[in-house]
Amino acid sequence: MKSYVAMCQCPVCGNDSGVAINRNLKDVFESSDRVPQLCSDCEKRINAGYCALIETIGTGKLAVRTGNIWFVKKEALLTTDKIMYIERNTAVEIGLYAKKNEQ
């Protein structure tokens, strides 16, 4: 059954981030639809100049999120992207886990 409202979900952390409403009140959303919209916490960090680095196991279409997320200054990554993905083996190789433990 379609509806003119849908839940929003943060594409970074996966938390609920509000409700989307079709402005013309047309039933365009499926009940399972989740509209991607940053939550306030992730939006604050990204607006402060950080890129969300989302860890996965595997790459491409087979990539599965592990639940680990790092926020890294965009200048350090030489990117303007707000969201990037990193494969677990690479996260280990470049020392993301070591840094996390030191803090």
List residues binding Zn ion (CB under 5 A). 10, 12-13, 39, 42
CA atoms lying within 13 Å on the CB side of residue 36: 4
Distance in angstroms (rounded) separating the CA atoms of residues 9 and 34: 6
Residue 27 near residue 3, CB atoms below 8 Å: yes
Minimum CB–partner distance for residue 2 and Zn ion (Å): 27
Q: How far is the CB of 84 from Zn ion (least distance, A)?
A: 15
The phi and psi torsions of 22 (rounded to 5 degrees) equal -70, 125
CB of 39: closest distance to Zn ion in angstroms? 4
- Closest approach of Zn ion to the CB of residue 93, in Å: 26
Select 18 or 22, whichever has its Cβ closest to Zn ion.
18
Residue closer to Zn ion, measured from CB, 12 or 51? 12
Helix (H) or strand (E) holding 42: helix 40-47
Residue with Cβ nearer Zn ion (10 or 96) = 10
CA distance 91 to 70: 10
| Residue 13 or 84 with smaller CB distance to Zn ion | 13
